């Protein structure tokens, strides 16, 4: 895919969804951090269901730490790997209180030093909570980047690095959300919805599902995701 196609691809995604954001529900950078840690190998819907009960009771490092692992498990037991996640969340709360004044650090190294936080989680927090122009590559973005020809790569890090190089600067802030939503709802793993895809004519994928994809839709799809939050200070 050449640069002109990449620009057009992002422009169409922007036109369809001008203000995308994560589907995880949160109010603060800390709530987002916890939600993203809980979302590993789980659905956003499942995490939101659990945190809707958890956050009204404990939404800060101190109040979550006070719950303890067993108390936290009562709220997140419906989420996969909840035992390990409870251990990580309680441990990261302790580190935030001891080393960061109870605040989520706006620093990659400090974030990745927290239990249960890897590069992808750090990128999500830095992008969504703090407005950093970063792309967190999950399975959806990895698939979309390779399938469309936008930024092919054999590893998650290779795709992330290539997306950082080829994504026009004006689209970097929201690229993560556009691509993950496109992969989640249109460019799905088993059967991509090519006939309704607004970037089908730009896509390099040869095995498109049957149908006649419109070059440009006459009406825009309904934007997914909640309204953007202001970047945390």
Active site residues: 120, 138
Say how far apart CA 109 and CA 71 lie, in whole Å.
29
* CA neighbor of 176 nearest in space, from 101, 228, 115, 217: 228
Q: Most distant CA pair in the chain: distance in Å?
A: 58
Cβ neighbours, 10 Å, residue 27: 10
Q: State CA 222 to chain mean position distance.
A: 19
- Cα dihedral angle (194, 198, 199, 200), rounded to 10 degrees? 30
User: b/e string for 60-74 if b means 16 or more Cβ within 10 A?
Assistant: bbeebbebeeebbbe
Where do we find the tokens 């909570």? 129
């Amino acid at each position: 895919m050449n640069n002109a196609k990449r620009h057009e691809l992002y422009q169409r995604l922007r036109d369809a969804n001008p203000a995308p954001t994560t589907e995880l529900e949160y109010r603060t950078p800390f709530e987002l951090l916890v939600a993203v840690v809980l979302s590993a190998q789980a659905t956003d819907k499942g995490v939101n269901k659990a945190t809707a009960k958890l956050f009204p009771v404990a939404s800060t490092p101190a109040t979550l730490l006070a719950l303890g692992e067993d108390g936290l498990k009562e709220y997140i037991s419906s989420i996969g790997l909840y035992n390990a996640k409870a251990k990580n969340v309680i441990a990261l709360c302790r580190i935030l209180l001891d080393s960061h004044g109870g605040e989520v650090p706006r620093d990659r190294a400090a974030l990745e030093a927290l239990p249960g936080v890897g590069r992808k989680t750090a990128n999500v927090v830095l992008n969504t909570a703090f407005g950093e122009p970063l792309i967190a590559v999950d399975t959806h973005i990895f698939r979309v980047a390779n399938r469309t020809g936008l930024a092919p790569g054999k590893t998650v890090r290779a795709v992330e690095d290539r997306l950082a190089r080829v994504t026009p600067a004006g689209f970097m802030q929201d690229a993560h959300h556009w691509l993950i939503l496109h992969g989640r709802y249109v460019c799905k793993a088993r059967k991509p919805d090519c006939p309704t895809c607004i970037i089908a004519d730009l896509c390099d994928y040869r095995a498109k599902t049957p149908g006649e994809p419109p070059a440009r839709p006459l009406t825009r799809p309904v934007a997914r995701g909640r309204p953007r939050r202001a970047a945390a200070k």
